[in-house]
Structures are given as C-alpha cells and as structure tokens.
Structure 1
C-alpha cells in the first residue's frame, strides 16, 4: 500500500492514538497549538521516536522493517532546530543528504552531484554553497537545511515549520516548491503555524492535546468554530476564490 501512515500512535509524550496517512503526490498540513504533539508526531513518523502503542507504516511495511539507509532513500525529515555542523560549507551540508545512497565510506557519483546541485537550486540556496553554515542568517540556514532534505530525492518529506525565519518572499518560494514536489509525486507532511499557508495544502489535519480533532479539505477544516477553539475568539474566516482566508478581527 502506497503512503506513509501512522496507525493508532500513542506516546511518547502527548500523542493519544493518532491515525494519519500521507499519500504520494499529496500535501498534508498539520496545525495545532503549542504542545499539541505536532513535532512529536513528525519524529515518530520519521522513525526518530518509538511510539508506546501503534505503529508507522511506509509503503505497506512497518517502518522498523527498513534499514536506516533504505528508509533514508524514501523518507526525509527537516527538523525545526537542533545542532548542526557550523564549520561545514553549505555544499558539504547539503551533500550529507546523499548519505543514504553512499553509506559512510561511499564515493559520490554523477547522480549524487546532480542531486546536490538540484537541491541547492530548488531551495534557493545555490548562491550560498561556498559559505560556512555558521555565518548564515536564520532564513538562509533554513533554506540550506531544506536543500539537505531534498538532496535525497525522497518520496516522502516531513517538514517541521519549514517557513520559520523566512521573509514573505521566501515563504512563497517554499510553498511553490512544495507544490512542485507534490506535482511530481512526492508526499509532503508539514507542520505549520499559519492557517493561511495550510489552506494551500490538499488536506489539513489538526492536533489538540495529542488527538487528531479534525482532518479534511482546507475549506472543511479551517472554520471559525474550530480555529477559535485553537487560537481565540478574535479569529475570523472568509472564503476567497473558494479558499479560506484567516484573519484576526480588530
């Protein structure tokens, strides 16, 4: 069965029995207040955390049935933060995304070099390739780390707040890139804070206190009653060209 799927995932931490599937060629946006379990769910679906109950399946097989390299060719994860090799050049950081194909001692071939060049260009980071990671701004670093995830040419992409630190122009570029990847058959699951970005996805899933409380098309999920329950009574929703537009009253 195609897809990346969490089935009855409970624990660690906040998760309380979550079922969520991402299909190839589909973008699913994951919303929810802080502490609702969004990052934990991504880490479980990436194989970085083990659930107390339930399981994750990748293309019909339990995730743990894959070796780390085989899993890395299918599935890439962009975390929200963490320690990174500040002393490496940007191009070297992105080349780390090819490790699932090379192993620890493998030699790069033409396909690897092409994948790295494509990933840098796609993420808008090609002009940074000769810079040290530690010299970059937050937005520049975010684009480089996205390029590293893309370098594996994964079938499924898990992104934890991919537009963090990016200005409005580069946020739009990331959204356009996600749409292009999805059109090529990549399945994307992205944690987002902005419901207006989530409105551009195929499906929206909403976590609250570790439970999936809503899932479906953006127009069906991004409603005033639900969003007010998450973000406060000032939230308003208007439909513009069939898509919900979320704003604060006053």
Structure 2
C-alpha cells in the first residue's frame, strides 16, 4: 500500500525547489543530508582559509616594516633636520680637547644592538658642563654607574654617564654650567664620558647638535685589561 503524505503549505513549497517538484518531505530531508558537506570537508576548508589569511597578514606586515622604519612611539625616525629644528647648537660638555673614542651607532630597530650615543675621552673628576639650557629629569644610579639626564626644549633629552652629581630632579641648568664630574668607573678602555641624546624618545647622534666641532675625531678603542 502506497503511503500518503500531508500536503505542505504553498509558501513552503515555493521556497524550496525540492518541495516545488511535489516530492514528499522525507525525500527532501534525505536529499538535504546527502548533499550536506561532511564535517571533515568543512574543517579542511576552514584550515585552508585561516592559513591563507595568516600568510596575507605576514606579507603585509613585512612590507610595511621594510618601507618605513618606525620609532618606539610610532612615526618615522628623526632626521638631522628634525634635530636641528628642535634646538640651537650645543656647547661641548667637556673642557679642553677631548677626542671621541667611539661614535654613535644607530640600532636597526628600537631593541636592536647599537651604540646610543658617543664616548668622549675624559679623566676621572673632570667637570661635565651642560651643553644647553634645561631641567634635570633624572639623577641617580642605574645598575652600577651614576647617570644624569636633562630635558631640553624641543623634545630633546641628554644623558651623561658615568658621573657624580649633586643636582636634584627639577633643577634648572644654564648652558656651560658645571653639572657633574666624571666617575672613575667606565665601560671604555680608559676613562670616558658617554653622552646620549633623545629626540621625542628616539636616540639620535649628539654630533647633530655639536656639529662643526674639531674634537669629533674617532680613535680606536683600547680593550680593558
């Protein structure tokens, strides 16, 4: 005996091609399950899509990094023009003819290796003078050496180490004023002053502000014994 099926509403029959052809409900359900993709196929498709998306993101990030090196706070690295516009030429921080024993070496990225300043030959106890007007932003010991930092107009910050100072944070200084003395400890082969400069948080060469100084003569570094 042939089974009969209950007629479906006209709206449902029109919405589905299977029903519109007059097939019973159980036949349409079987067809739907037969045509439905398996869970394994769906999983493979999802994994392939995620892999393509990850590859596109990696390629996009790599090209953006190669085109424009970024500073720690974002934006392009400061140039010599930016430094010159930030302040007037600075005075030499040490009296006498003191050659540079190691120059500035910009790191390839904010956390890469480099030499974030210049090392100037000095003698223990020698006076260090402020190269420009500013305000002491830090005075203390970092790891095993005394450090003094001065904030200058235009987003510039200078730092000096290893030094001994009597200045406190918030103290204003004038160009040429004695701000510290050279400490006996040093990371150079002999006693030296490490001078670092930052512009808006990015390290730049101090020679961009000490330009035209005859003392800027590089000497080989003598290894410590």
What TM-score do you get using the length of structure 1 for normalisation? 0.20
Bigger Rg, which one: 2
Instruction: Name the structure with the higher helix share.
Output: 1
**Greater relative CO, 1 or 2 (CA 8 Å, sep 6+):** 1
